[in-house]
Structure 1
Amino acid sequence: MSDWVGLFINYETVGKQLKPHKTEALNRRQSESETLSPHRAVIQINSTYLELIDRWNYQRGFISILSLCFMSIMGFGIAGLIYYGFYNPPYQMYLGDYILDILFILILSGVIFIFFYMLKRECFSYTHYPIRFNRKLKKVYVIQPNKKLLVANWEDFHIGLQQYSRSSWDVRFSLLDDQEKVTQTFALPYTGLSQYSSELLQHWEFVRRYMEDDTAQASYDAVTEVFPIHQRKETLKESFERVMIATTGGDQPINRTQRLIFWATFPFRFIEFIGRILSIKTSKIPKFPDWVEQECKIETNDAYDFEQHPKPKLQSEPIKPFEYMIYTALLLISIVIFLGFIDLLSLAKGENSGLLKALFFWW
């Protein structure tokens, strides 16, 4: 669950001093990479501000499905306890049995509450949690998962590479108090497997150059495509593409490696796709307050406004005829493996779901 750090509870660094062995400070005046990479995280870019998606958007949908599955299991468990414990007990019940059943019902209800809380961070919430960098006023605005607005000056942040699990790092923006303890924090969307990840440093350089250069040209040139969800919800096609790129975390456009991994893990990706659609359709588009929009007013005929001057959309790698056969084979194999996995789980419980047998019967 480390990839969802900061979504359900505060970041692990809040209220603490930054640990030197887990934090590597970044100099906002110093270049870390010759290459700039937006990593399909840009919602809007212009001469006034740069707006990015949140770090959890790449994997959105997984938590929704996971939460619903566990809530359903816990719900069936509660229903069974109530039915067999109070309405139709299989044996004579004593006071201790009733107390035990009530205890289990309370525990399962608590688990349902926890997963419902997790569900609400993706469903019935915001479609995304935007991060906005105002290069003219040197300010940063972040709509957080608790729906509160974080506003601070660019110069007030301690910016560094932060380790948040054994092998994962992000670019963390932290506000510190007089005792050097973190009061508020957020992270850039793209994460890496180490502090030396070139792609992670390229992502930081993309933001750094936007805020520190005299013009927005370098960052604007690096953007080949935006994800314009500031005024609308993402389409089904966009949801499908987002699930596909999440399989590798790669940049645009969709390539053969992403397709191969997607179709090889299709049942799981399809479930994630359904979860993403559910989370988007049940949520509303976040809006910054009017005073923020006034501070971020876009100039007329802004040469670096992607909406006014869009670039030709990059096309995904074309699919060759023989690749269709490979993808079809991977799809069938992944379905067989998935159904076999379900059968093994049912056998472990002393039953046999017979999904594989049913599949081959229809074939």
Structure 2
Amino acid sequence: MSAYLVDMEGRFRLTKKPPFLTPGYQAVGQKLDDVKGIYKRVPLEKDKTYEVPLHPQQTVVQFNSTYLETTGRNERRRGDAVGWGLIIGFVGLSMTSLYSFLLADLINNFDIFILSIVVFFAVMMPISYGLLINMLSTELFTTWHYPIRFNRKTRKVYVRQYNRKVEVYNWDDLIFFIAYINEDRDIRAVTFDKDGKTVTGMFALAFQNNVIDQSLISYFEFIRRYMEGNDEQLKEVKEAIRYIYPIHKKRETPLMSFKRLILNEVHYDHENIEYPERTFRIHPVQLITLPMLVLRYIGRVISMLTSYS
């Protein structure tokens, strides 16, 4: 299941989305047990204090006694869609050029040659729209930040989607759980209909990993304690924050994009990456993936440079 489709839609999308073009799921209107892609759930309780260290995991964008704002679930992947778009575009252009040259050698009739090119693009364009345009619309010429804001005064949670829509949830109505999906694990918040089974809303918190549940619980407790805690616990939350990601009023600089990419790739994110000097790890296998990291970095920079607040 694609993480991009967990809880967000592109700005441009098909009216009826064929499943082969948009692998993922639409949770709203389904029973939670029927939602595709989640093969295990671990419940999390809002009224229970988890005796774990608080780990903000460098996701905090704004913090005060009224609201806490974090990054969105896919901030760590920002630029990946553009990077893959560059690959798909290059491969598509190469195949089109090769196709044209082969036909030019094999077909002497110019009219048949032109017709074959038209047919080729008529077939490829719908596929390109579904796989590429919708994907790129999540990162190009759009907002540079998709925040999740927790307001402890009004007890509301605000989630900005890729299509710029802001979903508003009542904190007290949210049910949380750790979701095991194919690529990793994250923390889901879900609301139900009156029957207590049919999903009416779902989003994922900012932090995810595929190593241990303990790190996810530490992140959840950071959020939970902010919303549920007293003044003393609020102070604990504040003291846990070492880093504020400065993207609220300005987009990332290329240097900041590089740091965020490295933070997500060569650090043990199941530890507390508020202290990256303690979590830095590098392995020889990462040298093999270096070309892909370069492409992801280029994609992230392009995404930021074309986006606005």
Q: Is the 8 A contact 2:107 2:113 kept in 1?
A: no
Please state if 1:121 is matched with 2:138: yes
Please state if 1:156 is matched with 2:173: yes
Whole-Å separation in 1 of the counterparts to 2:100 and 2:153: 62
In the alignment, which residue of structure 1 is the partner of 2:15? none
SS of corresponding position for 1:190: strand
Of 137, 162, 185, which aligns to 2:154? Answer: 137
Give me the identity figure in percent.
30
SS of corresponding position for 2:61: strand
Q: How does 1:171-250 map to 2 (within 5 A)?
A: 171-179=187-195, 180-193=197-210, 197-215=213-231, 216-247=234-265, 248=267, 250=269
Please state if 1:15 is matched with 2:37: no
Q: 1:153: how far off?
A: 1.0
Q: 1:201: how far off?
A: 0.7
SS of corresponding position for 2:206: coil
Q: Is the 8 A contact 2:146 2:161 kept in 1?
A: yes
Please state if 1:54 is matched with 2:68: no
Say what the alpha-carbon RMSD is for the aligned residues. Answer: 2.8
Q: How does 1:1-363 map to 2 (within 5 A)?
A: 2-6=2-6, 7-8=8-9, 12-19=26-33, 22-81=40-99, 85=103, 88=104, 90-92=106-108, 102-113=118-129, 114-165=131-182, 168-179=184-195, 180-193=197-210, 197-215=213-231, 216-247=234-265, 248=267, 250=269, 251-255=273-277, 258=280, 260-261=282-283, 264=287, 265-285=289-309
SS of corresponding position for 1:160: strand
Instruction: State the AA in 2 paired with 1:281.
Output: L
Q: Which has the higher contact order (CA 8 A, sep 6+)?
A: 2
- Gap runs ≥5 in structure 2: 10-21
Deviations 1:217-266 (A, max 9, x none): 12111101110211111222211110101114521343486463597343
In the alignment, which residue of structure 1 is the partner of 2:12? none
> Could you say which structure has the larger radius of gyration?
1
SS of corresponding position for 1:228: coil
Deviations 1:76-134 (A, max 9, x none): 4345545665xx45234699987765443223222322212211101111112100000
Instruction: State the AA in 2 paired with 1:178.
Output: K
Deviations 1:26-50 (A, max 9, x none): 2101123421110110001110000
TM-score, normalization: structure 1? Answer: 0.69
SS of corresponding position for 1:272: helix
SS of corresponding position for 1:226: coil
Instruction: State the AA in 1 paired with 2:189.
Output: F
Whole-Å separation in 2 of the counterparts to 1:279 and 1:272: 10
Whole-Å separation in 1 of the counterparts to 2:173 and 2:279: 41
Q: Is the 8 A contact 2:79 2:303 kept in 1?
A: yes
Instruction: State the AA in 1 paired with 2:146.
Output: Y
Q: 1:16: how far off?
A: 1.4
- Gap runs ≥5 in structure 1: 286-363
Instruction: State the AA in 2 paired with 1:252.
Output: E
Which deviates further from its counterpart, 92-101 or 168-177? 92-101
Deviations 1:59-90 (A, max 9, x none): 211221111220232234345545665xx452
Whole-Å separation in 2 of the counterparts to 1:207 and 1:256: 23
Q: Is the 8 A contact 1:33 1:201 kept in 2?
A: no
Q: Is the 8 A contact 2:80 2:296 kept in 1?
A: yes
Q: 1:149: how far off?
A: 0.8
Whole-Å separation in 2 of the counterparts to 1:271 and 1:93: 41
SS of corresponding position for 2:168: strand
In the alignment, which residue of structure 1 is the partner of 2:16? none
Q: 1:186: how far off?
A: 0.8
SS of corresponding position for 2:301: helix
